[in-house]
Amino acid sequence: MDSPNQSWKVWVFVFCLNAFAIGGAFYLKSIGIDLYAFRGTS
């Protein structure tokens, strides 16, 4: 994982994973599912 070629692939993967997670959160919110309900009480 020291090569610069693999380093940018890891960053692209992380960015895409985060974009997918944020998009999924907005999608669930748009259909009426509250993600904060799964956190439990604090």
pLDDT in tens, 9-41: 999 999 999 999 999 989 998 998 877 777 766
- Indicate the domain borders of the chain: 4-38
Which pLDDT does position 37 carry in this prediction? 75
Of 23, 27, 25, the closest CA to residue 38 belongs to: 25
Q: Quick one: pLDDT band at residue 42, thresholds 50, 70, 90?
A: low
Give the predicted TM-score (pTM) of the model.
0.64
Q: Which residue has the tokens 């009480």?
A: 41
